[in-house]
Amino acid sequence: MEKLKELAACSARLTHSHQDAVNGAILQAAAVYFALESNSATTWQEIWGKLKNVCKEIEPETSNREKPYTDRLTRMYLFLTSTGSISNNEVVSKIGVDIQATEAISAAIFAFLCCLANRQPEEIGSRDLLQRTVFYAISLGGDTDTIGTMAGAIAGAFCGVESVPQHWLVACEGWKKAEELADGMHRLFVKKSKK
């Protein structure tokens, strides 16, 4: 986990100087990692708890800085443990869907957790988890391409590549090249881990 946080922070600093953006990159990478390490029996509460622990590290209690990710994770928990439906307007108001990292990353994580908990709005339907997550993330509005992509990355890690509909792949520019790069990175990882 330490290496993941270090790499996510370094990657973010190439284009983002604000600490909230760097922390967001760490939280997004952690969400993908926890989803990848999960199985079909993993609950939203388990992943939420792990993300809360990451927030404790990147937004420590002793810090005088605001804790936007910690605050939003708390709001997510309140939404997901409440009775009744969760309106998009409430999500937009309490979590946000704007381009700032604190809002976009939080919205992506919430979309995944909400669909994992099967609490998405009825109109999203009962598709598989990956499709529900992406559709729900986009339905929230705001920075839809960013939020949908990040939510899809988390759900895709949880569900596996076989869950990606073929018609989505052929509509994505450069998907074959991305698949080749991913396979190459995996081979390199396996080779290095055997040493």
Separation between Cα atoms, residue 132 and residue 114, nearest integer Å: 10
Position 110 pLDDT exceeds 90: yes
Whether 119 and 180 map to the same domain: the answer is no
Separation between Cα atoms, residue 176 and residue 80, nearest integer Å: 37
Identify the domain containing residue 32 by its residue range: 2-163
Tokens (6 digits) for 117? 């908990």
Q: What is the pTM of this model?
A: 0.91
Calculate ∠ Cα 68-131-55, nearest 5°.
Answer: 20
Whether 74 and 86 map to the same domain: the answer is yes
Tokens (6 digits) for 12? 């973010």
Separation between Cα atoms, residue 106 and residue 86, nearest integer Å: 16
Whether 111 and 183 map to the same domain: the answer is no
pLDDT in tens, 142-187: 999 999 999 999 999 999 988 999 898 888 889 889 889 989 988 9
Whether 159 and 169 map to the same domain: the answer is no
Whether 17 and 60 map to the same domain: the answer is yes
71 annotated among ligand-binding-site residues: no
Whether 60 and 107 map to the same domain: the answer is yes
> What's the number of domains the chain is made of?
2
Residues 38 and 159: beta-carbon distance below 8 Å: no
pLDDT reported for residue 74: 96
Tokens (6 digits) for 21? 């953006």
Q: With the C-alpha atoms ordered 34, 35, 41, 43, is the resulting torsion angle positive or negative?
A: positive
pLDDT in tens, 43-96: 999 999 999 999 999 988 777 788 999 999 999 999 999 998 899 999 999 999
Whether 109 and 25 map to the same domain: the answer is yes
Separation between Cα atoms, residue 80 and residue 119, nearest integer Å: 7
Separation between Cα atoms, residue 119 and residue 85, nearest integer Å: 7
Whether 42 and 75 map to the same domain: the answer is yes
143 annotated among ligand-binding-site residues: yes
The CATH number of the domain where 154 resides is what? 1.10.4080.10
183 annotated among ligand-binding-site residues: no
Q: Which of 66, 95, 61, 101 is nearest to 80 (CA)?
A: 95
Whether 178 and 119 map to the same domain: the answer is no
Report the chain's mean pLDDT, rounded to a whole number.
Answer: 92
For the chain, how far is it from start to end, CA to CA, in angstroms?
A: 20
